[in-house]
Amino acid sequence: MEFFKGKTVLVTGHTGFKGAWLCKMLVNAGADVVGYALNPPTEPSLFELIDLKHRMHSIIGDIRDLKHLENVFAEYQPEIVMHLAAQPIVRDSYKNPVYTYETNVMGTVNICECVRLNPCVKSFLNVTTDKVYHNNEWEWGYRENDPLDGYDPYSNSKSCSELVTHSYINSFFNEMDVAVSTARAGNVIGGGDFANDRIIPDCIRAVQKGEDIIVRNPHSTRPYQHVLEPLAAYLMIVQKQYENRKYAGFYNVGPDDCDCVTTGDLVDLFCECWGEGQSWENRFMGGPHEANFLKLDCSKLKNVFGWKPRWHVKEAIHYTVDWAKNYFEGQNISECMDRQIEEFLNGGKNHV
């Protein structure tokens, strides 16, 4: 993390769950962090709980507003840009597809355009999702050269975001002094996620209310990982390609096969870790199409960078439960996150 000290890093989507963890890591490393996002999407929000706005430049703006975004780039002149801003929920994308496409596709166009117009940017990463691939419900992981064609509006809009980035690379960035990559990450879990329609936040809300956990699709398989796993990989990519453009490319970021588990198995781990006799109920609630089986092949990231995941899914659950219990007990959440980040970066101390 020493690399980021003193560097100006612009993070879109900084008020969200992943964005708040990422900015916390960058601020701790001594980076000059500029955030651009809408107001926090949940109440409560991790961004506000740890009071990040007083430790960075937090700009409230819509990624669809190109003029405002251009002004921010002109004022702060970032060296590194990490694009996380998105409408990230599959089921919400069925309810509001136009907003989803406007945010996830035109938002990417706008950020790419700002990178094109500002030669100060040396390293740019567009964060998409494991759901960008045409899903054949294969039992093996998707590779970076497999076809992009997400099914639902969220997944498809992120496929389009990838294609927008590819076009800007071919049309503009290859002729510029900027390294550009995309990162396709799996499902993340961790402390401070208050989003709707996500299994671990649903578990924690149920525990808080003293209710049984409701699982709507316990047999779906996903590549679950702690939020620090992809964030550390993103930071590694932007650093390496900043130092040498040969590292720019398209990368899957996900856990090993042993941590691609069913939702039911994940909730079993949560209940075991939480204790107190917590249980869950299988109740299919219907709803729009969602992928049943999905995992990634991360051989490229491993081979290019020597990367490997640090925490297994059981450890990811442990650290998530640790954060939640600290939160419920009124402990200092910022210190809890600092401790978890330090343990992760220093080799992943194992409490399990």
Per-residue pLDDT 10s for the chain (352 aa) are 999 999 999 999 999 999 999 999 999 999 999 999 999 999 999 999 999 999 999 999 999 999 999 999 999 999 999 999 999 888 899 999 999 999 999 999 999 999 999 999 999 999 999 999 998 888 788 999 999 999 999 999 999 999 999 999 999 999 999 999 999 998 899 999 999 888 999 999 999 999 889 998 888 888 899 999 999 999 999 999 999 999 999 999 999 988 989 999 999 999 999 998 888 988 766 666 566 668 899 999 999 999 999 999 999 999 999 999 999 999 999 999 999 999 999 975 554 4
Domain ranges of the chain: 2-345
CATH number of 2-345, picked from 2.60.40.420, 3.30.70.3450, 3.10.129.10, 3.40.50.720: 3.40.50.720
pLDDT at 84: 98
Q: Any bridge partners for residue 96, and if so which? A: none
Across 125-160, b (16+ Cβ under 10 Å) vs e yields bbbbbbbbbebeeeeebbebebebebbbbbbbbbbb
233 C-beta neighbours (distance < 10 Å), count: 23
Strands 8-12 and 80-83: parallel
Q: Any bridge partners for residue 33, and if so which? A: 9
Contacts by residues 332-339 (CB-CB < 8 Å, ≥ 24 positions apart): 333/49, 333/50, 333/191, 333/192, 334/24, 334/50, 334/51, 336/191, 337/21, 337/24, 337/50, 337/191, 337/192, 338/24, 338/28
138 closest CA partner among 255, 294, 301, 329: 294
